[in-house]
Every structure is written in structure tokens, then in C-alpha cells.
A and B are shown apart, each in its own frame.
Chain A
Amino acid sequence: MNIENASILKQEKVTGDYNVLVLDVPGVSAHAQPGQFVHILVPRLENHVLRRPFSLYGVEDRTISILYKRVGKGTAALNLLQPGEEMSVMGPLGNGFPMECDCHPVLVAGGYGVAPLCFLAEKLGKKGDLFVGGRSEADILCIEDFEKLGWNVHIATEDGSVGQKGLVTEILDAWLNERADEDKPVFYACGPDGMLKALGNLAESKGATAWLSLDKHMGCGAGACLACVHKLRKKDGSEEWGRVCKDGPVFECREIVWET
């Protein structure tokens, strides 16, 4: 973990409410792994005391990029920043996705959840299938990034405006059932809780491994405040609070206890 003043190199609109921000921040980019995140102090955000967490979307020598959705005051303020401006970035934080994969990688994304999976697809050294879901066309992002890397892309939207109509886990289930199981799938996912939970159940029913990246409201981002906790199942079957920022954000689905 490092803390560094980053300068903005690029601010680019992707679609709808989504932007990509590219930052020059060598102290953070140096050791960054897919699935890790950064905690950003948004400049000119008066009367706010908390940083904002964002997954690493891409990392090059000195730079990192994030893909963010405008949802509130902090992301609206981010949107106003121009190249050349500076901000404090803490990171890289948390434990990312495991990188050794001797199975067939299947990535499952919802909304801005494609961000860490894009970085993962680039670094995994193996190609597979991406399943991406959202409410409508505007929520389906970064498809070209995956296609360029040679991944098969499967799209589901709830309104059917692009790809198949339905939930991403439904089209995934159908695909799994049709597929000859020559090599076992291993899942990597990031998105809303409902999607992660459904995917976890699916993976367990198939006896497959699923690495899920959780999104919990954060305070410190460093493991100190215990704001971001999620219930985890320990090896002995007992349950305890785990810190999503420090012990996660990536957990194997069997570790995660979902509240009913």
C-alpha cells in the first residue's frame, strides 16, 4: 500500500454515466494486481471526509485507469476534473483475483464490475468466456476490450436492448448446460450482490470454483475501521466478519455467507 499524489492524464466519457480516468501514479501502479482497488480523495469536495474506492481497470508502467459511474456527489466531482489536476491516491489495496488458472476462465460482470475483469482478462495469460449483464444497452461496457484480447463475449440485458433478454446468470446457466465439459470452468465475477449470490449458487451446484469481488461501503480502505465487513464462513464452519477492503475484496463463493 502506498499513498501518492496522482496527476490526471486523461478523462474520457465511455457511454451514458460512465467515464474512464487515467492517472500518472507510479508508486501505486508498480505492484498492482487485477481485483485490487484504489482509494481516491476526490479534490474540491468540501465537507466530505471519506475517500472513494474504485477497482483497477487498467495498469501500465506509471499509470492506472479506473472506470467509474456517476452515482453521487463524489463521482460527480470526479467528472469535473481536468487533465493536469492532482489528487491523492491510496493503493493498491486488498487481495486481487488468484492468477494461476488451469481451468477454463469464465468472467461474469455486472455494471462497473467489468472494470477489474478487464484488467484480469489482460493478465490471465489464457482466454475464455465473458458474460456481461445489465439493465439495458447503456450498462454494457468495454466489450471491445475483451474482443480485442480474443475472449468470447456473451451479453444479457433485462430489457433485451442488446444481447439476449434476461439475467446474466440465466444465460450463463444455459451455456453451461449445453457445453461439453472437457475442461472445468472457473468463475471470476464482480457486480451487484444479487448477481454474485446467484453465481455462487450456480458454481456450487456445478462443483466449480468462483472468485467473487464484493462491493461494500468503505471507510478507511486499509482494514482499520471495520466499516466494510461481510460475514465469512471459516474452515471449521464458524462465521466471522471479514474486512472486504483488506481480507478481500475477492473471496471464494464458499467463504461468503449471504444474509437471507
Chain B
Amino acid sequence: MNHEPSAIDLSVDLNGIEMRNPVTVASGTFGYGQEYADIVDLEKLGAIVVKGVSLEPWDGNQTPRMVEVPGGLLNAIGLQNPGVDGFAETYMPFLRKHDVPVIVNVWGKSVDEYAEASARLSDVEGVDGLEVNISCPNIKEGGIAFGTDEKMAAEVISAVRKSTKLPMIPKLSPNVTDISIFAHIAEEEGADAISLINTLPGMAIDIETRKPVLANVVGGLSGPAIHPVAVKMVWQAAQAVKIPIIGMGGITDAATAIEFIIAGATAVAVGTANFTDPATCLNVVVGIEEYLLRHGMKSVAELVGTLEV
């Protein structure tokens, strides 16, 4: 598509991460960027969020790890990754060559691991921000997810805050009764932005064998099926905090992305739709611009949180 340089300002600022447009990719659905570089011009994205990285290399789950369900998919990849050092050596040289902010999604099995991994990533040249995946079990504390326990969420976010000067973006779990409480905790503990939502827990059964389809038995639901849940949670979170929000969950086109912005998200992330069509992000950027033009707005910032109830 050939576009005249437009008068519309699509840029957004996530408290230190300057994005040329509000559209990024959801962690785990776009690899480390280079996997899609043949078909997606990475410099047209607002930012790249890479697959979750932990202090040490991690093997992830047995297979099958993914199954399609109506309106989406269940995944139980299990956070396989090469660890902080492997990530920095293998993938950062490529990413550094591109003019696009790099946000590293980080996770751990204990508070200390989160803090140590975050500290190490902060020293890696070219990393522009950390997204902290708190939907992981705390192995030391009986396996309860950090993101579903108020005290543990506060503890892990605070520990990461102390270990890095980079913009820090806790990624909230939707598996809670009141998302605004967790949004508020993140802001209190010094987050620069928050992102939501991560996948919802789900399960599929093969009725012929009476076995679970996924080797891990349960998985995380993503895709169009979760979009309304995600829009609602972003709207609630936006009322609870002043820091910017990255909204995600089931985006497939500009319209589904714009809903998040109206609900209060400053930026949006495309996840599962990358598998359906890797050009989705680029289409969303173009579609948002067209929408703003049509509605007589000069910047995307004007649209954020304009829901009328």
C-alpha cells in the first residue's frame, strides 16, 4: 500500500518507550522478530515484544503443545527459551540492527530469579524495556501464580523495579476476581506501564481416547474468543491507574484493536492473529490511521480512553 505521509500522529510513549505507532506484538507469538522478518517489515511496528526469557535456559512442556479450539487456540508451550545469555547472544545482534524498540518479556520461578534476570537484561545493549510476565507459578511458594496473589504480585514487581532502570511493564493475569486491584498494585510498585491480558486457563479433551489433547493437560486460551473478556479488563484497569496500558487479547484487525484504545489502552499487541496472517499488525496500523482520519482526529492519543457510557 502506498501511503502519503499523513498529518496524523500515531506515535505513543510508554513512559520511556517511544513507539512510532501504537501496535506491537504479543510475547510468544512473534518469536524474536527475525522469524517473520522475511514477510513483515519490523521497522513498521511500534515495538517488538519477544518470547518470554528466564535466567537459565528452560525446556518447556512435552508435545502436543497447541490445539485449535473454536475462535482461538490453547497453548501449553511451557515458556521454552534459551535463557538470558542465550537470548542476548543469539537474538540481540539481529534486533540491534533494526530501528524498532525491543521489549523483552521476562519470567522466573522465584522472586530472586525475576530480579536477577531483569538485572542481567538491563545490561544488554539494545533492550528498551521489560515486560514482566507474572502469570507464572512461584515454585518456592507452593506453585501459586505470582499474578493471582496480591502480596506475591507486589513483591515480584517491587523486586524487578529495584533491579532495573529500564521501563518496566508488568503483564497482568486475567485469572483474578478484580483486575483493577492488580493494576493498582503494579502502579504503586513503580511500573511504567502495564499490559493485559495473558491467556485464560482452558482444556480440551479427545473424546475417543478420553485423554487431554495437550500433554500438559491444561493450556492457555487466546484468540478472538477472549477479546470481549480482554476489552472489559482493559477498561477496568484503565479506570484504576494513570500509567499507560498495552491492551491485547484476540485482536484480528483494526476494529478489534481500536476497541482496546477506546477502552483506555495507549498501545495494543497482536498475538494469535500473527499465526493466521503475519501481516495483521501492519494492517492494524493502516486501519487505525484510516479510522482517525475518518473521525477527524489528529493523533491516536486523542482516542485513548474515550469510551462514552
Contact = CB atoms under 8 A, between A and B. Distances in A.
A246 B36 CA distance: 12
Contact of A47 (B64, B71, B75): B71
Interface in A1-18: 1-3
A11 B77 CA distance: 36
A47 B277 CA distance: 14
A49 B223 contact: yes
Contacts of B28: 225
A223 B60 contact: no
Given A1-B38, A2-B38, A49-B223, A220 B275 contact: yes
8 tightest Cβ-Cβ pairs between the two chains A and B: A224-B31, A227-B66, A224-B35, A1-B38, A223-B35, A220-B275, A49-B223, A47-B70
A241 B29 CA distance: 18
B31 A49 contact: no
Contacts of A225: 28-29, 31, 66, 75, 77, 275
A3 B278 CA distance: 9
Contacts of A3: 39, 277-279
Contacts of A256: none
Interface string B70-110: 11110101001000000000000000000000000000000
A227 B38 contact: no
Contacts of A226: 51, 60, 65, 77, 80
Interface in B140-162: none
A109 to B, nearest CB: 24
B276 interface: yes
Contacts of B54: none
A259 B80 CA distance: 19
B277 A241 contact: no
B56 interface: no
26 contacts: A1-B39, A41-B277, A47-B224, A49-B71, A49-B223, A50-B68, A50-B73, A51-B276, A88-B277, A219-B66, A219-B275, A223-B35, A224-B30, A224-B31, A224-B35, A224-B274, A225-B28, A225-B31, A226-B60, A226-B77, A226-B80, A227-B63, A227-B64, A227-B75, A229-B60, A241-B59
Interface string B34-56: 01101100000000000100000
Could you tell me the dominant secondary structure of chain B's interface residues?
loop
B286 to A, nearest CB: 16
Interface residues of B, number: 34
B273 interface: yes
A216 interface: yes
Q: Contact residue range for chain A? A: 20 to 34
Given A1-B38, A224-B30, 8 more contacts: A3-B277, A3-B278, A41-B277, A49-B71, A222-B36, A225-B275, A228-B63, A229-B63
A227 B31 CA distance: 12
Interface of A: 1-3, 41, 47-51, 88, 90, 216-217, 219-230, 241, 246
A222 B35 contact: yes
A201 B124 CA distance: 45
B272 interface: yes
Contacts of A216: 63
A90 B274 CA distance: 12
A41 B280 CA distance: 13
A219 B73 contact: yes
B72 A222 contact: no
A227 B62 CA distance: 10
B66 A217 contact: yes
Nearest to A73: B68
